[in-house]
Structure 1
Amino acid sequence: MIVAEGVTLALGQPPARVQILHGIDLSVATGDSVALLGPSGSGKSSLMAILAGLERPGNGAVGVAGLNFAALDEDALAVARRGRIGIVLQAFHLLPTMTALENVAVPLELAGVRDAFERAGAELRGVGLGHRLDHYPAQLSGGEQQRVAIARALAPRPALLFADEPTGNLDTATGAAIMDLLFARHRETGATLFVITHDPALAARCARVIELADGRIVADRRHA
């Protein structure tokens, strides 16, 4: 699903240029669950942005779902992400003037999905929000808003799902429930799950744990 070779990233201009990633080599199998673990500033979110086609590496090659991201321009990258890659972030990024149903359905409509509202409703029911379809984000709890964000990410039926600190804005109990849901949906859909976290307990729930420090992979282990 993911192949990265010699990926580097630097930000800023000399003499203040900062090297974020140093020659990352990584391969992730289809259907796997992977945790990217590391302290703040280790480069986790930067690596995710490159693997998701949101950021271009300084050097190196990135292939996702058989596509060579380096060979694609920005428009082609946007098309490549559509339907293939879902992203769940710490911030929910829901549109406040749209209901839960609209927040999930409208992106599908814009992507040309004919049964957008039917699919959106099914996804929201799948995350336990069938009774909240017509509620606006301000009327939902933080955990419910994150469930909407998960439904939105899963609705296009992506082959690859990224979750970047998805419970960072939630209390412990709600965060645990959200992760239970995310792993359940991963098992149900067969999507490759890539979770970015600094929490070892969360990382332990994944089949594979990759540790990043100072922009380098320092450990890569698979759970029994």
Structure 2
Amino acid sequence: MIVADGVTLALGQPPARVQILHGIDLSVATGDSVALLGPSGSGKSSLMAILAGLERPSSGAVGVTGLDFATLDEDALAVARRGRIGIVLQAFHLLPTMTALENVAVPLELAGERDAFERAAAELEGVGLGHRLDHYPAQLSGGEQQRVAIARALAPRPALLFADEPTGNLDTATGAAIMDLLFARHRDTGATLFVITHDPALAARCARVIELADGRIVADRRRA
């Protein structure tokens, strides 16, 4: 599902150039659940952005879902992500003028899906929001908004799902419920799940835990 070979990332220009990632080598199997664990500033989100095709590495090769991301231009990367990669972020990024149903359905419509609203309704039902289809983000709690964001990420039925600190804006109980939902949907769909976190307890729920420090992989272990 994911192959990274010698990936580096440097930002800025000399003499203020900052090295974010240092020679990352990584392979993730289809259907696996992986936690990328590390403190703030360790490069977790930068690595996710590269693996998701949102950022280009300074050097190295990246293969995702069988595609060589290094050979694709920005437009081709956007097409490659569509339907293949779902992303759930700490910030919900819902459109405030659209209902929960519209927030999930409109990206499907733009991708040319004929049954966009039916699929959106089914995904919202799947995350426990079948009774909130016509509510706007401001009418939803933080946990409900994050569930809409999860439904939006899952609706295209991606083979790969990234979650970058998805509970960071939620209280402990709501955050735990959101992670229960993500892992349940991972099991139900068979999608590869890649969770970025600084929480060891959350990371321990994944089958594999990769630790990042100062832009380098310092540990890689699989749960017994």
TM over 0.5: yes
Unaligned runs of 5+ in 1: none
Percent of aligned pairs sharing the same letter: 95
Note the C-alpha offset of 1:37: 0.1
How far residue 49 of structure 1 moved from its aligned partner, in angstroms, is 0.2
CA displacement, residues 6-25 of structure 1 (integer Å, 9 cap, x when unaligned): 00000111111000000000
Q: Provide the C-alpha distance between the structure 2 equivalents of 1:157 and 1:113, rounded to a whole number of angstroms.
A: 12
Q: CA deviation at 1:213?
A: 0.1
Residues 7-63 of structure 1: CA deviation (Å, up to 9, x unaligned): 000011111100000000000000000000000000000000000000000000000
Q: Counterparts of 1:63 and 1:191 in 2: how far apart (Å)?
A: 17
Write the distance in 2 (CA, Å) between the matches of 1:25 and 1:106. 36
Q: In the alignment, what sits opposite 1:221? A: 221
Q: Distance in 1 between matches of 2:211 and 2:114?
A: 41
| Structure-2 separation of matches of 1:70 and 1:203 | 29
Unaligned runs of 5+ in 2: none
SS of residue in 1 equivalent to 2:206: coil
CA RMSD of aligned residues (A): 0.2
SS at match of 1:121: helix
Calculate the TM-score normalised by the size of structure 2: 1.00
Question: How many correspondences in the alignment?
Answer: 224
Distance (Å, rounded) in 2 between the aligned partners of 1:12 and 1:170: 33
What is the CA–CA distance in structure 2 between the aligned matches of 1:60 and 1:150, rounded to whole Å? 31
**CA deviation after TM superposition for structure 1 residue 71, in Å:** 0.7
User: Which 4+ residue blocks in structure 1 deviate beyond 3 angstroms?
Assistant: none
Residues in 2 aligned to 1:68 and 1:45: alpha-carbon distance in whole angstroms: 20
Q: Distance in 2 between matches of 1:221 and 1:51?
A: 20
Aligned residue for 1:86, secondary structure, equals strand
SS of 2:5's equivalent?
strand
When normalised by structure 1's length, the TM-score is 1.00
